[in-house]
Amino acid sequence: MVNRAARLFELASESPDRTALVFEGATHSFFRLAQGARDMAGGFAALGIGHGDHVGLLLRASPDFILAQQALFALGAVVTPINILYRTGEIRHAVACCALAHIVTTSDLADALDADLGCTLILLDTPLDGVNARSLISAMNNAPPLSEPVPMRPEDMAMLLLTSATTGKAKGVMLSAGNLAANYDSTPGWLGLDGDSVILCALPLYNTFGLNQCINAMLVTGCTMVLHARFDAAACIEAIAAHRCTFLPAVPTMLQKILDHPSASRDSLGSLRTVMTGGAPVPSALLQRLLAVAPDVRLLTGYGLTEATALVTLTQVRLSANGVMERERTIGRVLDGMDLAIVDDAGASCPVGISGEILVRGPNVMSGYFRAPLDSAMALRDGWLRTGDIGHLDADGYAYIVDRKKDVIIRGGQNIYPADIEEVLYQVPGVAEAAVIAREDAILGEIPVAFVALQPGRCPTPDQILAHCRTHLASYKVPAAITILDELPKGPTGKILRRALRPQPVAG
C-alpha cells in the first residue's frame, strides 16, 4: 500500500510548476510543497520520529500544517491532528488517550500550554531548543531531506483521530492506510472534482472535513487550493472572485454568513460549481439563496463519521419546479464500496420507513478505538460499525437521520461531547450534579446548555460556573446557559436522564 505522502511526490515530479496552494497572497507549487515536506521529514527523523510513532499536530490552518502532515506520513508516523482551541487539560487528555510521544506546534500555541503535557513539543518556528521542546529548524539544518516515503502496509495505522466513543469521552479512532485509501482516494470523484478544480478552504484542518475535502482532494486530483487561516465571509467572497474558485466545502453556518454578506452576488460567486455541506440539514431557503447568486452550482450534502474515515452517504440537494426541496432532510444514499443498514434493538433489519440504528460496513471502517477494547467491541460487531445514529431508509435507498443515540452536539459543524463539559462542571466547588444537552440555534444549528444541582449549603452562581468553563474548555464548548435545579431527573438506577431535561426552560 502506498504511503499517503507518495502522491505529493508524484505531483512534484509530474507537474512541478503547477500551483498547489495559495495562502496569504503567496503561491506554492507542488514541487515547493514536496521539497518542504522532504526537508521537514528529514528534521523529524533526526529528532527520532519514525514508522509507527504517534505524533500530534497542534497547528493553525497554514502551509505548515500540510507540510508537517505530509512529512509525518512520509516517515510512516501515526498522525493525530488536535483542535487548536483546546485548553491544556483537553490536550493532556489527547496525549494520554492517543499515546502521543510528540506534538508539533508553534511557539505561541506552546506558550499557552502548561509545561508538562506528558510528551515532547516540536516547535516549527524557533531555532533553539527549550524546556521539553525541540527546534525543528535546528534539526533540519543538521539532517538530510528524506529521499523517499517509507513503504506502508494496508493494515498499518496512519491516523489516530479524536472522537467520542460509547462513554462520551474522547477516544482515538484508529485509521489504517487501507482505510484512508478506501475513502480518501474516492472522495474527489464522488464530489466531481478534478485537476481543473479550485478549492476554497476556510475550514480548520484538524477535522475530517478539512483533512479529506481540502488537503486530500488537492493532492488526489492535483488541483489548486486557496487556503484561509480562518473563516471570514468577506475574505471568502473576495477569494472566490479573485481565484475563480469552483469548490466550496462549508458547514451551513458558513454558507449562511457568505450569502448574508452584501458582497455576495453572481459576479463574486458565479464561478462556484460545487458546494459541499454537512453537519446540519440544509434549509430550502438557503439553497434558493445560493442558486440566486450561483445558478450553476450543485449543492451536495451527506453523512460521515470519523469511525468510517470520512464520507458514507452523499446526495445533491435539489428544488422541484415549484421551489420545494426534494427529499427534504435526506443524507443521501450510501457511497460505492460501502453498505448501510438500519436495524432494530434486536439486530433485525428495519422495513422501509421504520427507524432504527444506522450501521455501516466497508473497507473504510476503523479497526477500533485505541487501547479501548470494550468500546471497540461495542462499536464493531460482526463486521458492522454501529454508528449510534437513528434513522430510516425510503423505498429508493435514501437515508434519513431522525435522532442520535450518542449525545453529541453539533455546533456550527464542531462536535461537542457532553461528557467533556460535564467533567469540567463537576470540578466547580458546590456542584453536585451536572448534565449537558443540545438546544436548537437558528445560526449554529445546536448549542450546549447545562443543568446543575448544587450541594447543600453551597451556592456558586451561573456566572461563576461559566467563568470556570471558559478557563478550562475550548470556547465553542462553553455552555450558552447554566440552569440551576434542585435536583436533576433520574431513572430507576439513578442515572441522570438527559431526555427529561429537554423540555426544561433554560435560564437567561
Instruction: Judge whether residue 433 has pLDDT over 90.
Output: no
- pLDDT score at 410: 87
Specify if 133 maps to a domain.
Answer: yes
We report the CATH number of the domain holding residue 132 as: 3.40.50.980
The pairing of strands 274-277 and 54-57 is: unpaired
> Sheet holding 102-105: strands in order across?
133-135, 120-123, 102-105, 54-57, 78-81, 157-164, 170-176, 368-369
The residue among 456 and 481 whose pLDDT is bigger is: 481
Write out the DSSP string of 394-406. Answer: -TTS-EEEEEESS
- pLDDT score at 319: 85
The pairing of strands 482-485 and 445-454 is: parallel
The residue among 402 and 464 whose pLDDT is bigger is: 464
Residue numbers of the domain that contains 73: 6-152
Instruction: Judge whether residue 432 has pLDDT over 90.
Output: no
Q: What residues have CB less than 8 Å from 274, skipping those under 6 apart? A: 191, 192, 193, 246, 247, 248, 297, 298, 300
Specify if 469 maps to a domain.
Answer: yes
The residue among 443 and 188 whose pLDDT is bigger is: 188
- For residue 371, the 8-state DSSP code is T
Which residue shows C-alpha cell 466513543?
A: 165
Residue 2 — pLDDT band, cuts 50, 70, 90? confident
The residue among 493 and 282 whose pLDDT is bigger is: 282
Q: What residues have CB less than 8 Å from 289, skipping those under 6 apart? A: 259
Out of 152, 174, 191, a domain closes at: 152
Residue 69 — pLDDT band, cuts 50, 70, 90? very high
Q: For the whole model, what pTM was predicted?
A: 0.86
Are 307 and 381 in contact by the 8 Å Cβ rule? The answer is: no
- pLDDT score at 121: 96
Instruction: Judge whether residue 491 has pLDDT over 90.
Output: no
We report the CATH number of the domain holding residue 467 as: 3.30.300.30
Instruction: Judge whether residue 494 has pLDDT over 60.
Output: no
Mean pLDDT on 446-472: 93
Give the relative orientation of helices 30-46 and 63-75 as an angle to the nearest 10 degrees: 60
How large a percentage of the chain has pLDDT more than 90? 74
Specify if 183 maps to a domain.
Answer: no
What span, in angstroms and rounded, lies between the C-alpha atoms of 506 and 508? 6
Cell of 323: 421551489
Residue 168 — pLDDT band, cuts 50, 70, 90? low
Instruction: Judge whether residue 326 has pLDDT over 70.
Output: yes
pLDDT tens string 87-135: 998 999 999 999 999 999 999 999 988 778 989 999 999 999 988 899 9
Specify if 95 maps to a domain.
Answer: yes
Specify if 171 maps to a domain.
Answer: no
Mean pLDDT is lowest, of 104-108, 291-295, 330-334, 361-365, for 291-295
What span, in angstroms and rounded, lies between the C-alpha atoms of 77 and 74? 8
Looking only at Cα atoms, what is the longest distance across the chain? 72
pLDDT tens string 387-418: 988 899 999 999 998 776 667 888 988 888 78
Instruction: Judge whether residue 456 has pLDDT over 50.
Output: yes
Specify if 472 maps to a domain.
Answer: yes
Cell of 421: 463539559
How many domains would you assign to the chain? Answer: 2
CB atoms closer than 10 angstroms to residue 376: 20
What span, in angstroms and rounded, lies between the C-alpha atoms of 110 and 181? 33
Instruction: Judge whether residue 493 has pLDDT over 50.
Output: no
- pLDDT score at 474: 94
The residue among 417 and 54 whose pLDDT is bigger is: 54
- pLDDT score at 418: 85
For 132-178, give the secondary structure using H, E and C.
CEEEHHHHHHCCCCCCCCCCCCCCCEEEEEEEECCCCCEEEEEEEHH
Out of 98, 119, 152, a domain closes at: 152
- Please state, in angstroms and as integers, the Cα–Cα distance from residue 105 to each residue in 111, 136, 143, 216, following that order: 10, 10, 20, 21
- pLDDT score at 134: 96
Instruction: Judge whether residue 284 has pLDDT over 80.
Output: no
Q: What residues have CB less than 8 Å from 414, skipping those under 6 apart? A: 207, 476
The residue among 280 and 223 whose pLDDT is bigger is: 223
Average of per-residue pLDDT values in the chain: 92
Specify if 208 maps to a domain.
Answer: no
The residue among 426 and 475 whose pLDDT is bigger is: 475
Mean pLDDT on 263-278: 95
- pLDDT score at 446: 92
For 245-300, give the secondary structure using H, E and C.
CCEEECCHHHHHHHHHCCCCCHHHHCCCCEEEECCCCCCHHHHHHHHHHCCCCEEE
Out of 119, 137, 152, a domain closes at: 152
Give the relative orientation of helices 6-14 and 30-46 as an angle to the nearest 10 degrees: 140
Specify if 146 maps to a domain.
Answer: yes
Number of H helices, E strands in the chain: 18, 27
Instruction: Judge whether residue 166 has pLDDT over 50.
Output: no
Q: What residues have CB less than 8 Å from 145, skipping those under 6 apart? A: 35, 38, 39, 41, 42
Q: To which H or E segment does residue 349 belong?
A: none
Are 219 and 52 in contact by the 8 Å Cβ rule? The answer is: no
What span, in angstroms and rounded, lies between the C-alpha atoms of 90 and 283? 34
- pLDDT score at 280: 66
